[in-house]
Structures are given as structure tokens and as C-alpha cells.
């Protein structure tokens, strides 16, 4: 996965990113995020995201998991994906972080932090101009 930093966001994809998720629903945010009914998540080059939220610290072990988590949350926030998938997105954050080399204890407390305190992120509204 390749990305770079950009003002207003912590990261921006420099190439398309394809990942399998255990969510079998078809939805998209045109030009950037595509989720297919076979569980394939495609995030297009140019997509920007914030990475870890305070007080979490951004590390290499957190970049990929925060990308997938942020995309799934954006789909939910924009009404494209049911909010019932939040627990799956949170579990994926933990599992991908561990796969990327994060210690299990840190992944555990990151998981519980998003489980307990990330509901506000689903209530944010997107304003189109």
C-alpha cells in the first residue's frame, strides 16, 4: 500500500487499494469507495483519510487498518451502509492492526476505544457544496 501526506488529511492513497472484508453488501461513494457484494472493498487512488484519532498515535501498524475503518465509517455516515456493520468495522480495525505488527495489547485497547467512543463519528453529516 502506498500513500502520502497531504494538508487537511494525514494520508492520501497514491494507488488503488483492494481489500476483502466480511461485509457482503453493494454500495459506493462515487469515484472513491466501492464495496461489492462479494466482500471486495476498492478504495481509489486519491482517497484521503485522517488515520488514528486522538489520543491514538499514528504508526505504520495503524495506517492500513485506519484506512479500511475510515472508509467503512464513511459509507455508514453517508447512509450507504447500515450502521449495524459498526462492530465488524471495529473488529477489522483490531485484526488488520495485529496483521500489520501492532502488539495485541495495543490493538485490544484501540478496539475498545472505538467500540465505546466512536459513535459520534457516525453522526457527522457530510455537506455537499
Written as nine digits, the cell of 26 is 453493494
Q: In whole angstroms, what is the distance from residue 41 CA to residue 44 CA?
A: 10
Tell me if 89 sits within 8 A of 73, measured CB to CB: yes
CA-derived radius of gyration, the chain: 14
pLDDT for res 104: 95
CB atoms within 10 A of CB 120: 7
With a cut of 90, say whether residue 6 has pLDDT above it.
Answer: no
pLDDT for res 54: 59
Written as nine digits, the cell of 69 is 475503518
pLDDT for res 129: 45
Q: In whole angstroms, what is the distance from residue 86 CA to residue 99 CA?
A: 20
pLDDT for res 19: 96
pLDDT for res 122: 64
Tens of pLDDT, residue by residue over 25-74, are 999 998 899 999 999 999 999 999 988 765 666 778 889 999 999 999 99
Q: In three state form, how does the secondary structure of the chain look?
A: CCEEEECCEEEEECCCEEEECCCCCCEEECCCEEECCCCEEEECCCCEECCCCCCCCCCHHHHHHHHHHHHHHHHHHCCCCCHHHHHHHHHHHHHHHHHCCCCHHHHHHHHHHHHHHCHHHHHCCCCCC
Tens of pLDDT, residue by residue over 93-122, are 999 999 999 999 999 988 988 888 766 566
Amino acid at each position: 500500500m502506498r500513500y502520502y501526506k497531504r494538508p487537511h488529511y494525514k494520508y492520501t492513497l497514491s494507488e488503488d487499494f483492494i481489500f476483502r472484508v466480511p461485509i457482503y453488501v453493494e454500495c459506493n461513494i462515487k469515484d472513491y469507495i466501492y464495496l461489492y457484494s462479494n466482500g471486495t472493498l476498492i478504495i481509489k487512488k486519491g482517497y484521503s483519510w485522517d488515520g488514528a484519532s486522538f489520543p491514538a498515535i499514528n504508526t505504520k501498524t495503524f495506517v492500513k487498518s485506519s484506512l479500511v475503518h475510515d472508509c467503512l465509517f464513511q459509507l455508514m455516515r453517508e447512509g450507504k451502509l447500515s450502521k449495524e456493520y459498526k462492530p465488524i468495522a471495529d473488529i477489522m480495525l483490531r485484526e488488520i492492526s495485529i496483521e500489520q505488527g501492532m502488539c495485541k495489547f495495543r490493538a485490544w485497547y484501540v478496539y475498545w476505544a472505538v467500540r465505546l467512543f466512536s459513535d459520534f463519528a457516525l453522526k457527522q453529516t457530510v455537506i455537499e457544496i
